[in-house]
A and B are shown apart, each in its own frame.
Chain A
Amino acid sequence: MQRILQKTRSYCTVLKEVKKNQKIDKPKENKLNFTELKYPSKVPSKPIKQSFPTGEKPVIDNATIQLLERLALVNLESKEALSTLEKSIEFAEKISHIDTTNVLPLYTVLEDQNLYLREDSVTEGNCREDILRGAKVTEEDYFVSPPGNIPLQQKEKDFTDN
């Protein structure tokens, strides 16, 4: 163990056992003086102000909520959730003024690389049991779901202003 101590990284101070009453929660003395600079700083001393237009507050009507809930199969839980949704949309409006004429959408940063296609042959298999083990309900070798083609029952929301 002594050898380990000697070989310890030079920049990692050897920790001493701390006595019970000794406080080490104060920042230790920095060898570097962080307020002293040798050169005029390239970091701007004042924040760079960026202003983005504030658009109209979006209003999400009841029909839209119902549509979203049907598409997402997720329920809008509360008035707070609705206000978060509206704020997120307001937040997204901030880029609407940016000029993107003749700028193509960037779907992936690997756009210069062709997507790799492999031979259409089985490389891994015999995992039916492993896969089915994840399901809560199975019958023989099948996943089980309740009857389909029945529209979702939607309740009216009472926290909207409508």
Chain B
Amino acid sequence: MKRHLQLSIKQLSGFYADGSISPRTVVDHSLDDAIKLKRLNAFIRLSPEKALHQAKESDHRYENKEQLGVLDGVPIAIKDNFCTKELTTTCASRMLSNFVPPFNATVCERLANAGAVLIGKTNMDQFAMGSGTVDSIFGPSKNIWSNDLVDKWHIAGGSSGGSATAVAAGICYAAIGSDTGGSTRNPAAYCGVVGLKPTYGLISRHGLIPLVNSMDVPGIFARNVGDCLDVLNAIAGPDDRDSTTIRKPFRKIDMSFNEELDLRNVRIGIPKEYHCEGLSNEVLETWMKVADLLEDSGAHVHQVSLPNTSASIFVYSILNQCEVASNMARYDGIEYGHRAEIESSTEELYANTRAEGFNTVVKTRILTGNYFLLRKNYHKYFEKALRVRRLISEDFKRVFETPKNDENIVDVLLTPTTLTDAPLYNDFVSQSNRDQCAVQDFCTQPANMAGIPAISIPIRLSKRGLPIGLQLMSKSLNEEMLLRVAGWIEQQVEFDCLANEQIYAARS
């Protein structure tokens, strides 16, 4: 077992600085591990040459005491829907299997400027449409907590399952995913790592290949809350290249975890509608226990109601498919990406390119979105969904800011992230993608509707030995409070992300 694995990012860069270990060594180990753990299928493509070059440069900076910050020399991974200059970016789809972007996404640029070392691009559901990382042309990602990686293995969750796996397997210290309806928090919960979906607009989407423009945010995976914050501080803030970033300057969040959080000033809400049908007993028990721990330490814990929550999954489904129909129109085979061998007419070329390039899930969502957007249906579905979206968003505003009558105002909401631990692959794929998402996204997509920040943190293992996570949500731009409470819970539950058999098996 490599000892440096257990360090936090701050500790790691501390050791780089005093010379006990070098970025080159750590990056070497990362690349080795990525190959040893290849059967997890976390990566679509590794970038060893670039990584070793970056590590060498980092080595020099530390030698000259010119390091760029805590992320300098830290191995990270990025989901394959973020454009990386001169590095193929596929969205796990045939449509972009040959796409080499001529530019970097802002997130990638800022990480590189902070000295972070990119190990590779991670696996995902095709165009991020899914919640299992099972719909990738490169095959599914496997959950590292599975007892058996051959027949009876569990899904990693999705759609950012590759990024979650890269962190859970100890290959990288952090990874970037994207989150439209839960695509960061869902795999984080299944793989036993921390997954943060920041406030909409806090992190630039420039270079993130869009799924649902009004909900997409870059997400962060890490093995603890402190590491997650270090990455957030490096990438957040306004960007001239994305007009939907919040223009208020981002002040780096500074929280020393040694400083005890006084829970007596913290109000926690338990939204009752999140206990929906299908919630497993173990997840329910975990949710109750953590609420109890908070209350026992002085926090004010109240039950609250978000009455429009249960409608949210339907609204999400409509808006997702409508925006997909519009977003996917750009793939025609002319300027980039896959092009069919048809020269008879433009429309014929477009149609064949798209027939060959997209999988059934993508195609059906495009068709459904077009149905909702037909002139006769536009008001009935699309506009109606946007109106209900306002009701959902106002529910959150009510509990965070403007309570009615004798209702309680709260700072943070505590809910499950997923309804169960990670399903077996065979059980999961027996359902249609549409049914999978309707169940998997129940607790996560409301935060995307309202644009508020949410985080999933691992709490414990289920009887089957799989991680169970819980979700915290707060009002827009209240990341600091969210991370403080998450950090407090993390200390109480002492979940060890790396204590699983597959990691030992691969490295011993």
A contact set with B: CB distance below 8 Å: 1, 3-5, 7-9, 11-15, 17-18, 23-28, 30-32, 34-39, 41-50, 52, 60, 64, 67-69, 71-78, 80-81, 84-85, 87-89, 91-92, 94-96, 98, 100, 103-110, 113, 115-116, 118, 127, 130-131, 133-137, 143-148, 150-153
Contacts of A12 in B (CB 8 A): 6, 496, 498
Contact of B508 among A18, A72, A76, A96 (CB under 8 A): A18
| Number of interchain pairs (Cβ within 8 Å) | 303
Say how far A159's CB is from chain B's closest CB, in angstroms. Answer: 14
CA distance A8 to B113 in the complex (A): 27
Contacts of B490 in A (CB 8 A): 11
Tell me if A8 and B6 are in contact (CB < 8 A): yes
Tell me if A11 and B491 are in contact (CB < 8 A): yes
Tell me if B276 and A50 are in contact (CB < 8 A): yes
Is B406 engaged at the interface, CB distance under 8 Å to the other chain?
no
Tell me if B465 and A26 are in contact (CB < 8 A): yes
Residue of A nearest to B355 (CB): A75
Interface residues on B, range: 35 or more
Q: State which residues 456-506 of B face A: CB under 8 Å.
A: 460-463, 465, 476, 490-494, 496, 498-501, 504
Contact of A11 among B286, B293, B390, B494 (CB under 8 A): B494
Contact of B350 among A73, A95, A116 (CB under 8 A): A73
Tell me if A15 and B498 are in contact (CB < 8 A): yes
Tell me if A150 and B344 are in contact (CB < 8 A): yes
Say how far A86's CB is from chain B's closest CB, in angstroms. Answer: 9
**Given A73-B351, A143-B334, A105–B272 Cβ distance below 8 Å?**
no
CA distance A13 to B490 in the complex (A): 14
B170-199 interface bits toward A, Cβ cutoff 8 Å, 1 = contact, 0 = none: 000000000000000000000000000000
Q: Name which of A49, A108, A109 has the most chain B CB atoms within 10 A of its CB.
A: A109
Tell me if A153 and B276 are in contact (CB < 8 A): no
**Could you pull out 12 A-B pairs where Cβ atoms are within 8 angstroms?**
A11-B490, A17-B504, A18-B504, A28-B461, A41-B288, A42-B270, A73-B351, A110-B200, A115-B243, A118-B240, A134-B100, A148-B346
Q: Name which of A1, A50, A88, A98 has the most chain B CB atoms within 10 A of its CB.
A: A88
Q: State which residues 89-117 of B face A: CB under 8 Å.
A: 98-100, 102-103
Contacts of A118 in B (CB 8 A): 240
Stretch from B46-54, B228-236, B294-302 that touches the partner: B294-302
Contact of A27 among B1, B288, B462 (CB under 8 A): B462
B contact set with A: CB distance below 8 Å: 1, 3-4, 6-8, 11, 15, 20-21, 98-100, 102-103, 147, 200-201, 214, 224, 240, 243-244, 246-247, 270, 272-273, 275-279, 284-289, 291-293, 295-296, 301-303, 308, 310-311, 314-315, 317-318, 321, 325, 332-337, 339, 342-351, 354-355, 358, 360, 363-364, 366-368, 370-372, 374, 380-381, 383-391, 393, 432-434, 438, 450-451, 460-463, 465, 476, 490-494, 496, 498-501, 504, 508
CA distance A43 to B461 in the complex (A): 20
Residue of A nearest to B363 (CB): A74
CA distance A27 to B244 in the complex (A): 44
Say how far B312's CB is from chain A's closest CB, in angstroms. Answer: 10
CA distance A30 to B293 in the complex (A): 14
Contact of A68 among B11, B276, B354, B371 (CB under 8 A): B371
Tell me if B291 and A31 are in contact (CB < 8 A): no
Contacts of B496 in A (CB 8 A): 12-13
Say how far B341's CB is from chain A's closest CB, in angstroms. Answer: 10
Tell me if B438 and A91 are in contact (CB < 8 A): yes
Contact of B371 among A17, A47, A64, A127 (CB under 8 A): A64
Tell me if A27 and B463 are in contact (CB < 8 A): yes
Contacts of A1 in B (CB 8 A): 3, 20
